[in-house]
């Protein structure tokens, strides 16, 4: 083959353009990124995925200028990098913002790349991990300035005009919640559309002190919002892991990558597949006599639920989500004899385990996750009901609580409840769907009813107490009388609770449940789409 027949000049040009793309925003901008304590997008991808597995798509897209002969003079890559890779030898889509190019702003992005990344994940059935750093397609008024150096005619096709907003790829973003696992890692300031993408996920992470999340940043808020804020006070990880917008707070980017990989390990690659089982590494028949004293006899005393969780699941397998939001309910993923499950548990350290608006919102979203990816639910129940008082009424706790009940009663996944202590009222009924087969156990510490005796005596016996010469003595007499029927064995007499068990035997029974229902997980499709 002669040189004139070869495409080597074009291949050389391709290599040149790819090398320019590897430079990202240039040495100065990349150095500035590193000085902020942040990795650049290519370092992030390298640390997240299996070695040498990333295949980039659209690497040479960006803003280019040409001379009068049509030869390339300058090239600025788009600030959105995506492609396919492997995580723990499973294929995924990686989509990341490049903060070194215009700080991740819209005037340096190409919307089609975001659309392609989300469409690729949904149509090929691949999990997508978003590495967010910047506005992620959000706006900048510089796009309106004819003198802007990268201006609206700089190769990104915006033109000299304003536009009616439309969020790029949003149909795919929403649809993917019911198609594939979606993970968002906030690795810097994330505003506008980037913030919306962060929370429209199954699992989201912020790095303490490094990432912030907001609808609009401090510059805009301080100018127009009537208050003076910093990035941290407005949208730091302490704000958003407490209000429920973000699931997990970590201390470093490396930790963010690690928790993303771990979260994905519990889930299938796509809806329609089943979550993978790991080789069992813990004896399913293991018992724990210490659980017999885990719940104090004094109903007014709190106790620690997390050691109970750690005892009954496979050793080291509990992966908590949303720890700082809706804290009366603990949620997370775990394994039982190698099988992945979704686990919920009441935490008596917060409102005695009672449900608030935040708790109900947390429960709804978590049950939706389990339903979407066919994860059987294990619920360790300690719920004295909805938290009462004007604050909870003003927060519409009953509406949000009813939404949680709807999610639980709509779910079709296998479900096992263990009544550890309190189960009262409408919220207590959220421990499972009472109209399905009740795969349910109770500990001897179980205490249940329409409302606790301690809070209900005064309401039920108001007239008698008001008419009594010694209301305190009468109250004690009535309470003692009612407490005689609180014995859970009386409930079992009427088969209103199926089995009272030795707490030490909880793990073997839960492992039996996980093995028994494993073939049934795909019997029905998810009952409703995932709600972010």
Mean pLDDT within 147-171: 61
Topology agreement, domain 8-265 and domain 289-451+487-520: yes
Domain 8-265 belongs in CATH node 3.90.226.10: yes
Rg of the chain in Å (alpha carbons): 28
For 290, residues 6+ apart whose C-beta sits below 8 A from its C-beta are: 311, 504
Quote the CA–CA distance of 438 and 467 in Å, as a whole number.
44
Strand partners, 271: 273
More confident call, 79 vs 161: 79
pLDDT score at 2:
61
Cα distance between residue 78 and residue 93, in whole Å:
18
Mean pLDDT of all residues in 218-246: 90
d(CA 356, CA 383): 11
The CB density around residue 418, as the number of other CB atoms within 10 Å, is 24
Please say if the pLDDT value at position 108 is more than 70.
no
What average pLDDT score do residues 218-242 get? Answer: 89
Average confidence (pLDDT) over 11-27: 91
**Domain residue ranges of the chain, discontinuous segments joined by +:** 8-265, 289-451+487-520
**Side-chain-facing half-sphere of 265: CA atoms under 13 Å:** 17
Per DSSP, the three-state class of 272 is: coil
DSSP 3-71: GGG--HHHHHHHHHHHHHHHTTT-HHHHHHHHHTT---HHHHHHHHSSTT--EEESTT-EEEEE-TTS-
The answer to whether 232 and 224 have CB atoms below 8 angstroms apart is: no
The pLDDT-based confidence of 106 (bands split at 50, 70, 90) is low
Residue 462's pLDDT is 76
Q: Single out the residue of 347, 365, 181, 188 nearest to residue 271, CA to CA.
A: 181
Nearest to 191 by CA among 183, 199, 182, 181: 199
Instruction: Write down how long the chain is.
Output: 532
Whether 151 has a pLDDT exceeding 60, the answer reads no
Architecture in CATH for domain 289-451+487-520: Alpha-Beta Complex (3.90)
Whether 154 shows a pLDDT value over 70: the answer reads no
- The C-alpha atoms of residue 358 and residue 394 are separated, in whole angstroms, by 13
- Which alpha helices (H) appear in 247-318, and where do they start and end? 253-265, 306-312
Work out the pLDDT band at 182, boundaries 50, 70, 90: very high
């Amino acid at each position: 083959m002669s040189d004139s027949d070869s495409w080597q000049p074009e291949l050389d040009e391709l290599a040149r353009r790819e090398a320019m793309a590897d430079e990202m925003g240039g040495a100065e901008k990349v150095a500035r990124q590193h000085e902020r304590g942040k990795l650049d997008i290519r370092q992030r991808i390298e640390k997240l995925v299996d070695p040498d597995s990333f295949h980039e798509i659209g690497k040479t897209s960006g803003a280019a200028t040409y001379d009068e002969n049509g030869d390339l003079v300058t090239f600025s890559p788009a600030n959105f990098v995506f492609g396919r890779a492997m995580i723990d030898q499973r294929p995924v889509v990686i989509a990341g913002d490049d903060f070194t190019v215009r700080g991740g702003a819209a005037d340096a992005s190409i919307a089609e790349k975001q659309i392609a990344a989300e469409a690729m994940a949904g149509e090929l059935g691949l999990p997508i991990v978003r590495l967010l750093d910047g506005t992620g397609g959000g706006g900048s008024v510089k796009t309106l300035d004819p003198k802007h150096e990268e201006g609206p005619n700089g190769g990104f096709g915006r033109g000299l005009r304003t536009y009616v907003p439309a969020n790029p790829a949003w149909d795919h973003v929403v649809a993917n919640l019911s198609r594939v696992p979606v993970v968002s890692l906030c690795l810097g300031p994330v505003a506008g559309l980037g913030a919306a993408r962060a929370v429209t996920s199954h699992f989201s992470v912020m790095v303490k002190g490094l990432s912030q999340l907001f609808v609009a940043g401090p510059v805009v808020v301080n100018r127009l919002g009537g208050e003076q804020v910093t990035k941290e006070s407005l949208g730091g990880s302490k704000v958003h892991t407490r209000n429920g917008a973000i699931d997990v707070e970590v201390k470093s980017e490396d930790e963010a990558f690690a928790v993303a990989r771990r979260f994905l390990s519990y889930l299938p690659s796509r809806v329609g597949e089943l979550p993978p089982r790991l080789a069992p590494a813990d004896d399913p028949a293991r018992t724990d006599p210490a659980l017999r004293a885990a719940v104090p006899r004094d109903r007014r005393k709190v106790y620690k639920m997390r050691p109970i969780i750690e005892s009954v699941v496979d050793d080291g397998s509990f992966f908590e989500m949303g720890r700082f939001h809706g804290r009366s309910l603990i949620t997370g993923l775990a394994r039982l004899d190698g099988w992945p499950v979704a686990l919920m548990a009441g935490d008596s350290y917060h409102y005695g385990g009672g449900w608030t608006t935040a708790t109900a919102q947390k429960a709804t979203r978590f049950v939706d996750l389990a339903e979407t990816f066919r994860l059987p639910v294990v619920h360790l129940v300690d719920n004295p009901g909805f938290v009462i008082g004007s604050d909870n009424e003003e927060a519409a706790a009953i509406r949000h609580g009813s939404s949680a009940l709807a999610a639980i009663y709509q779910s079709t996944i296998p479900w096992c409840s263990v009544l550890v202590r309190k189960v009262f009222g409408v919220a207590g009924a959220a421990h499972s769907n009472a109209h399905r087969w009740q795969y349910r156990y109770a500990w001897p510490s179980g205490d249940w009813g329409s409302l606790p005796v301690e809070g209900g005596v005064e309401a039920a016996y108001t007239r008698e107490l008001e008419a009594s010469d010694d209301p305190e003595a009468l109250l004690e007499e009535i309470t003692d009388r009612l407490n005689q029927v609180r014995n859970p064995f009386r409930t079992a007499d009427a088969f209103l609770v199926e089995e009272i068990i030795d707490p030490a035997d909880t793990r073997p029974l839960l492992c039996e449940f996980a093995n028994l229902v494993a073939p049934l997980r795909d019997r029905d499709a998810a009952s409703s789409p995932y709600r972010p």
